[in-house]
Structures are given as structure tokens and as C-alpha cells.
Homo-oligomer: A and B are copies of this chain.
């Protein structure tokens, strides 16, 4: 049994290029007691992966050169030597950019395909949805009537942030790139307002969309969007910092327009802001049980909708990942690595 893999060949400088990856095919080992052989159906691509390709200090160990590119996956169990998993089970795993893998059965989580589409385990009901839920509720504390702003708002995290904000009685304002995404924010995701960050008068549009100022800004992009938002903060505003995607490919530091406003600290003081970085795992104990209950219900009754952007074939992952870092995708980016279960 073999697996086709994409490995990290060298550390990217700026935007990852094809030569930063190595495409290989490897033999898989025989199953040991407790292990399962998995066939990848869906691979999740997420911005955090860019950080793991670099060796800059981060919250997690970087990949080593030669490692298989990492990532969460939905897989089918093809062979099992684990009494926890049966052939045919659909499971959530962390097998990365490859077609097959051998892992411990206990390192997979069994999914119920009849309860929700299996792709949602990588999106609205998975890590991205939980990132939105934990960060917004655990740090942002949206109150009834608050204005909550989120950028990359058609993405799996941003779209969940806005919709959860609305469930909590807040006004949701989404920032996205281009009129098509902005229309989707209103029409598909039910945001109260949408602002196109590519518009020349973006700053004025943001002001027009937030007449009562901004109480919560869920940060996942950084750069000039952030600076414009800071200028609209109300006293005691909260800013959960989930990601800074605009800087992930930066090589020689950020352009001046993308640097934080020079008076950022002064604004923090004057407006008594709370800026708080987080990684979703810190909220597992405090919020995960509630997340599963709430988000399943909200997706079920249509209060939270999601959009997927499914790209066919493992070999397309590098190009799709470049698009993710530059905003070309539209919805949760998934690679369909293998056929859906029959």
C-alpha cells in the first residue's frame, strides 16, 4: 500500500512557490495492533499552516524540512487493527497532505455522516467554527446592541463570527474583498453590513457601516484594515487576535501602510482597549461542550450558514494554499483528495 504525499522541501521566502514542496510516493508500513489505515477524502487548508513552514518563533513547533505538510483531514478507514474503529468508518484525523496514512485508531475521532455533512467537521462544526466561537465569546464578549466587526468575513472563521454575533444580539459588520463576497455577507450570511476593503474609500465606508463605533473587532488579517478599525473603537472595546494573515507572506517586514498605527498604544490607553491573542485550544475546556451543542443547533435551524470552496485533487493543494493566503478562495477551503464515501 502506498501514499502520495506533499512534503516541505524548503522554507518559503514570501509566498510559497512550487519548489518549496516535494511530491513523493511512499510505501506505508504494515498495520500494528491499534492502528488503522486511512484513505483521505477531504484535506483542510488553513492559514496557520504558513507559520509552520517557517522557523520563526511561534506557538507550535515548525515543520522540519522533509516533513509531510500538516493538516486536518476527513478519512475513511480502509483497514483496521484497532478495536475502536471499523472498516468503513468516517473519521476526523490529522494526516496532512497525503492520500493515505497509518495512524493509531485512538488518534482519530469517528464522525456520524447522518448527523451533518462530513466536510463540516473541518469547518463550521470543526476547528474554524470553534475558533470563532471561543475567541468571540471567550474574549470578545459581544453584548446586545454591540457592533462586532470581522475581516476575511466570508471565510469559515469570519462568517461564523458574524453569525454568532447576531445570535447574541449584536450588529455584525463584515469586511471582505470585492463586491461578490460583500453581497454574500448580506445575502447568504445575514450580516447587517458589508465593507469592501478593496474600495478606494474603504475607510469612509467602514465609518458609514459602523455609525455607533466598534465594540468588538475579531482580528484575523492585520494591516491597514486593522488601523482603520482601531480608529472606530469605542471605549472598552475588545479585540481577540486570531490571526494576522496579511503578514504571513511578508519578507522584509510590512509595508508602511500595513504597520500598526504609530499611536496604537496610546489608543489602547485612551480607549481602555483589550487586545488579546489566542489559539483556539485554550478554550477547549471552557467552551467546547457549549460549542458543539450551540453550533450544531444553529447550523440545524439555519441561524448559522456556511460556504465551502472545494478544490479537486491533492496536487492542487499548493496552488489552492497560495490562493487562501491572498484571498482568492471563497468559503472554507477544502481539497477533495479522494472520492466521497458511497
Binds B, one of A122-130, A174-182, A275-283, A298-306: A275-283
Q: B270 touching A277 by the CB < 8 A rule?
A: yes
State the CA gap A211–B270 with chains docked (Å): 32
Contact flags A222-238 to B (C-beta < 8 A → 1, else 0): 10001000000001000
Interfacial chain B residues near A277, Cβ < 8 Å: 267-274
Contact flags A254-265 to B (C-beta < 8 A → 1, else 0): 100001101111
A: contact size bracket: 35 or more
Q: B244 touching A266 by the CB < 8 A rule?
A: yes
Whether A58 contacts B270 in the complex (CB less than 8 A), given A254-B262, A264-B260, A276-B275, comes out as yes
Residue A253 lies at the interface, judged by CB distance under 8 Å to chain B: yes
Most B CB contacts (10 A, CB to CB) among A219, A265, A266, A271 go to A265
Closest Cβ of chain B to A285, distance in Å, is 15
| Set B222, B253, B265, B272: member contacting A260, Cβ < 8 A | B265
Interfacial chain B residues near A253, Cβ < 8 Å: 262-263
Residue A242 lies at the interface, judged by CB distance under 8 Å to chain B: yes
Q: B269 touching A241 by the CB < 8 A rule?
A: yes
Closest Cβ of chain B to A214, distance in Å, is 15
Closest Cβ of chain B to A223, distance in Å, is 9
Whether A279 contacts B275 in the complex (CB less than 8 A), given A260-B262, A260-B265, comes out as no
Residue of B nearest to A275 (CB): B275
State the CA gap A278–B274 with chains docked (Å): 9
Q: A270 touching B59 by the CB < 8 A rule?
A: yes
Interfacial chain B residues near A222, Cβ < 8 Å: 265-266
Residue A243 lies at the interface, judged by CB distance under 8 Å to chain B: yes
Interfacial chain B residues near A26, Cβ < 8 Å: none
Whether A263 contacts B247 in the complex (CB less than 8 A), given A58-B270, A241-B268, comes out as yes
Q: A244 touching B265 by the CB < 8 A rule?
A: yes
Closest Cβ of chain B to A57, distance in Å, is 7
Interfacial chain B residues near A274, Cβ < 8 Å: 274-277
State the CA gap A58–B272 with chains docked (Å): 10
Whether A272 contacts B262 in the complex (CB less than 8 A), given A59-B235, A235-B59, comes out as no
Residue of B nearest to A238 (CB): B276
Interfacial chain B residues near A57, Cβ < 8 Å: 270
| Set B244, B259, B273: member contacting A259, Cβ < 8 A | B259
Interfacial chain B residues near A263, Cβ < 8 Å: 247, 253
Residue of B nearest to A139 (CB): B274
Interfacial chain B residues near A273, Cβ < 8 Å: 275-277
A-B contact pairs, 12 of them (CB 8 A): A222-B265, A241-B265, A241-B268, A244-B265, A253-B262, A253-B263, A254-B262, A260-B262, A267-B277, A270-B277, A272-B279, A274-B274
A-B pairs, top 5 by smallest CB distance, nearest first, are A268-B277, A275-B275, A269-B277, A272-B277, A241-B269
Given contacts A253-B263, A274-B275, A275-B275, 15 further A-B contacts (CB under 8 A): A58-B270, A59-B235, A241-B269, A243-B269, A244-B265, A247-B263, A260-B265, A264-B264, A267-B277, A268-B277, A269-B277, A272-B282, A273-B276, A273-B277, A274-B276
